[in-house]
Amino acid sequence: MANRPRGYQLLQNSNRPRCRHLGYTAILQSLALPAGNPPSLSQRTPPTTAPPQPATTPTKALTRKKMKPILLLKTKSTPTDPYDVLLASAGYTPIFVPVLQHHAVNGDVVREYVLSGGLVPVEGSDEGVRKFGAIIITSQRAVEALGTILDELKETHAQIVQTLLQTTTIYVVGPATRNSLINLGFQKERVVGEECGNGAVLADLIVEHYSNNFITDNDKGPGDLLFLTGETHSTIIPSRVPEKLKGKSGGLDVKVEEVVVYKTGVMEEFEADFRSCLQRLEVGDAAAEGEEEKERWIVFFSPTGTDAALRVLGEREEGKETNRGLKYKCCSIGPTTKDFMYQKFKRAADAMAKTPSPDGVLEAIRSPARVVAQLVS
């Protein structure tokens, strides 16, 4: 019981005020009865003011009782998690189940590109122009890896880092990644693509933006694109961007160089934690008798760990463990995870976020059919 997620414990242990007692006390106080024996009915003077409004505490208690658990297969961000804040305000109890563990790699490769003039002009560098015209980052972990590298370089090459932050264009796929890069010190107007939502849309945006903003008279062209990524990612951007840039007028010969800056693995305890969480949902107040609709949403944030989660979920759905009428529904954070779920397990996602963000997830689980229809069309 000590290991229950915080949100779940709040649901279990919420204090319920004695509504009837509070209301009765308020009425007695409004009558202002004198001390001694109670007067007869004819002696009582009705109150001159309207009875006080019901206390707000019972309303909050009733609202909390109706909140539905939602499982988020991710580590909760600190100090606050935007998914926790938004979903809780919308009537859900977010339950975070950490799935992934990460470790940075190839920091020396990125560091060398920075110091040798590959990303920003450096005095004394061999090349007349920098190797890369812009950076592509589509994950929070890649931002963290880059941030660690830049923090280290600030100690010895502060001016180079400052130039990089002020002059580099970065393409991103969502608002969370954009905000994290701005917090690192990159310029707001140079972090582009937060509205894209997925790699396919971002690829098209890069083609238009890069061809319109980075055309130079230099024979070497505008420079290639540096894609900082994890080892598991979609190939849409590396394949589509160069192909479409070649088709533009002038035939731009631009490559997308991929550098894996972090590797990801599933936490050893994830399967056990996830199984335990499902068990608690099925036997606790979260699946209380009398609840009209016992749907439980599970949000998948990455292909990594999805196989383990679906394996556990399949055990419970096919066996006798789930016997309270619960129906589990799966929401994918984006197309890569959605495709993985179907290709590997023939499980179609019940919903997919149009954008990889709290707002995208909330819209998807509230109106899954409409969101899926819009995505298909």
User: Which pLDDT value is given to residue 127?
Assistant: 53
pLDDT at 24 over 80: no
Q: Over the stretch 215-266, which tens digit does the pLDDT of each residue have?
A: 554 445 578 999 999 987 889 999 999 999 988 767 788 999 999 999 988 9
CA dihedral 280, 286, 290, 292 (to 10 degrees): -120
Task: Look at residue 319 in the predicted model and tell me its pLDDT.
Answer: 66
Tokens of 136: 């592509």
CATH code at 68-100+267-376:
3.40.50.10090
Query: How does DSSP assign 310-366, residue by residue?
Result: HHHHHHHHHSSS--S--EEEEEESSHHHHHHHHHHH----SEE-SSSSHHHHHHHHH
* CB hemisphere CA count around 45 (13 angstroms): 8
Percent residues over pLDDT 90 in the chain: 52
Average pLDDT over residues 78-102: 93
C-beta separation of 128 from 220 below 8 A: yes
Write the CATH number of the domain with boundaries 103-264: 3.40.50.10090
Sequence spans of domains, the chain: 6-61, 68-100+267-376, 103-264
Instruction: Judge if the upstream peptide bond of residue 94 is cis by omega within 30 degrees of 0.
Output: no
Spatial CA neighbour of 202 closest among 254, 134, 138? 138
pLDDT at 369: 66
Give residue 372's pLDDT: 54
Q: Which helix (H) or strand (E) holds 257?
A: strand 256-266
Do 103-264 and 68-100+267-376 fall under one CATH topology? Answer: yes
- Phi (first) and psi of residue 352, to 5 degrees: -140, 135
Q: 125 exposed, middle or buried (CB, 10 Å; 0-12, 13-18, 19+)?
A: middle
Alpha-carbon span 239 to 203, nearest angstrom: 9
Helices and strands, number each (H, E), in the chain: 15, 11
pLDDT reported for residue 232: 78
Contact (Cβ atoms closer than 8 angstroms) between residue 313 and residue 278? yes
In 90-212 the beta strands, taken as DSSP E runs, fall at 92-96, 100-104, 132-137, 170-171, 191-192
pLDDT, residue 289, reads 55
Residue 274 · residue 309 · CB < 8 Å: yes
**What are the percentages of helix, strand and coil residues in the chain, rounded to 5?**
45, 15, 40
Q: What is the pLDDT of residues 118-170, one digit of tens each?
A: 998 877 655 555 789 999 999 989 999 999 999 999 999 999 999 999 999 99
Answer whether residue 23 shows pLDDT above 50: no
- Locate 330 and state its tokens: 């799966």
The residue behind tokens 């980075």 is 214
Greater confidence, 269 or 48?
269
Digit-coded pLDDT (tens) for 25-53: 333 344 343 444 444 434 444 444 444 44
Residue 22 has pLDDT above 70, yes or no: no
At 7 the pLDDT is 42
Beta strands 100-104 and 295-300: pairing type?
A: unpaired
Average pLDDT for the chain: 79
Return d(Cα 366, Cα 351) in angstroms, integer. 9
